[in-house]
Amino acid sequence: MLQLNTRLANLWLARKFSFGTDVRRRIWLKLAKLLENGVPIRTAIQRMRSRRARMKGDSDALVLAFDDWLTQINNGRRFSDAIRKWVDHEELCCSHQASSPATWKKHCIRR
C-alpha cells in the first residue's frame, strides 16, 4: 500500500511540476519519427519509456508520464485524451486534430 501511495504522490508531483516546452518538443519529435517509421503508438511510447527509465529511473517525471499515457491507451483512450493532463492546451488541440505523423510534426511541434 505504501508503494502505491508513493507512486501516486510521484505521479501528482510529476504532473504538478511537469516538464518544459523543450522536453516536450523532443518527445514529440521522437514520437513523430517513430510513427513515421511505422511503429505503432503504444510500442513507440513503450520504447521511449524503457530508454528513459534505464537512464533516469522509474520515478522520473517523464517515465511516470509515459506510464500514465500507456495505461490510458491500454484502457481504450485516444492519445490526445491520454496526454491531456500533461501538456498545454495548444499541444492538446493539435494532437487531437493531426491526421498523420507528418501533419503532426509539421503543424504541432513548435520550432
Question: What pLDDT was estimated at residue 79?
Answer: 87
**Pick the residue with more confidence: 21 or 72?**
72
User: For residue 71, with 0-12 CB atoms within 10 Å meaning exposed, 13-18 middle and 19 or more buried, which class applies?
Assistant: exposed
Q: Is the pLDDT of residue 111 over 60?
A: no
Phi, psi of 21 (to 5 degrees): -60, -40
Could you report the per-residue pLDDT of 37-71, keeping only the tens digit for each? 999 999 999 999 999 999 999 888 888 889 989 99
How much is the mean pLDDT over the chain? 76
Average pLDDT over residues 15-35: 79
CA distance 69 to 66: 5
